[in-house]
Amino acid sequence: MNTVTPCGHELTTRLLDQKSECALDSCFNRVLSTLTQETQACALFFSKHFSQIHTPVVVFNSLDEPLSDDTIDLHLAKLKKLKPSIEVHHYQKMCVFPAKFENNLLGFLVVKATNNALKPFENLIAHLLNVYVKQLSTLHYACIDPLSQLLNRQTFEEKVLSVVARDNHAAMRQGYAERSWYLAMLDIDNFKLVNDTYGHVIGDEVILLVAQLLKNNFRAEDYVFRYGGEEFAVLFPSQNAQTAFEGLDRIRALIAATRFPQVGTVTVSGGFVTLIDIGQTSEAVHQADQALYYSKQHGRNKMTYFNDLDIKPLELNQSDIELF
Ligand SMILES: Nc1nc2c(ncn2[C@@H]2O[C@H](COP(=O)(O)OP(=O)(O)OP(=O)(O)O)[C@@H](O)[C@H]2O)c(=O)[nH]1
């Protein structure tokens, strides 16, 4: 039975309709299967950080054998030597398409081509790879706060749900004890004074420097968000509340010991909570805020675990809580 190959416009529109990274990845995979009639295996390696310093990771792969790190490096080295205008490179029995963003080579798509069957589609595949990268960058930058380059508030809830659910699922599948996820809310102390004394431009610089310290000192698997003006949320796994506290307190101490240009010293206060029921993200934020409020009320430059507060969640009068 002959199947009709959809036209480039329709495939482009399909990719542009995707509203999450995950949906976009699987859509691009399906589009390629349609074009290659599922007779060719393919794999996409791409650095979703949109930075050349991050090695491309595999986004999807239907090759019989995954490419080794050496082969990935080899492809990248070969592609870097080619003219920027070249859109496909033939290597052994593979067609390799460079994936570029703003003239930087961020990865490549490899399609196994045993004969010339792919030839008529090469230009279309190169075009669709460009569309994929553009749509991914649109989705990516919609999640990033422009000042701090951290994840923004809009992505917070979705990330909490997806990360914690995925991790718990993986932990159950692999049969190891579940790690707990923790949610911390951090807030720069007396920030109004910084703005009032040095002006908003210096205030913004302080936010940026604190954001960089947070980003550089949490692990790659942790998520740091700019939650509001001078407020940050961090989502991270830890063995127990004590190790979570130690990690947070180390970063608190590091920020307090850092010299900020013009302003001198800046401190942060924080509160954190164990994420038990991921369906209750807003309740978790509320509890972490209560612990943060406690830190503020007890001298600032301090971390507090919600469970250490001598109150039950419902006993605290809502009107006593500083809501952000
Ligand atoms: N420069 C700058 N200031 C901001 C931004 N967002 C919020 N702010 C300011 O941050 C200040 C927060 O002040 P408050 O909520 O009173 O808290 P604080 O002075 O940090 O005091 P504590 O939280 O109690 O330690 C306000 O003056 C806001 O205008 C921003 O993006 N840039």
ipTM score: 0.96
pTM for this prediction = 0.73
Task: Assign domain 151-320 to its CATH superfamily.
Answer: Reverse transcriptase/Diguanylate cyclase domain (3.30.70.270)
Residue spans of the domains in the chain: they are 8-142, 151-320
Average pLDDT, the chain: 86
Distance between CA atoms of 138 and 8, rounded to whole angstroms?
20
Radius of gyration over alpha carbons of the chain, in Å? 24
Four-way CATH pick for 8-142: 3.50.50.60, 3.40.47.10, 3.20.20.80, 3.30.450.40: 3.30.450.40
For the Cβ of 191 lying below 6 angstroms from any atom of ligand 1, the answer is yes
The answer to whether residue 75 scores a pLDDT higher than 90 is no
Per DSSP, the three-state class of 108 is strand
CB 239 within 8 Å of CB 252: no
CB 248 within 8 Å of CB 236: no
Give residue-wise pLDDT tens across range 266-315. 999 999 999 876 667 888 999 999 999 999 999 999 999 999 997 655 54
Task: State residue 39's pLDDT score.
Answer: 63
Distance between CA atoms of 133 and 110, rounded to whole angstroms?
15
pLDDT band at 320 (very low <50, low <70, confident <90, very high): very low
- Ligand 1, atom 24: nearest CA belongs to which residue? 190
Task: State residue 178's pLDDT score.
Answer: 61
CA 2 distance to own-chain centroid: 42
Give residue-wise pLDDT tens across range 232-270. 999 999 999 999 999 999 999 999 999 999 999 999 999
Give residue-wise pLDDT tens across range 85-126. 888 888 888 899 999 998 889 999 999 877 777 888 899 999
For the Cβ of 306 lying below 6 angstroms from any atom of ligand 1, the answer is no
Distance between CA atoms of 210 and 137, rounded to whole angstroms?
25
Of residues 230, 231, 315, 322, which has the active-site annotation? 230
Task: State residue 249's pLDDT score.
Answer: 98
Distant-in-sequence, close-in-space partners of 157: CB < 8 Å, separation ≥ 6: 281
Which has more confidence, 55 or 15? Answer: 15
- Ligand 1, atom 7: nearest CA belongs to which residue? 229
For the Cβ of 231 lying below 6 angstroms from any atom of ligand 1, the answer is no
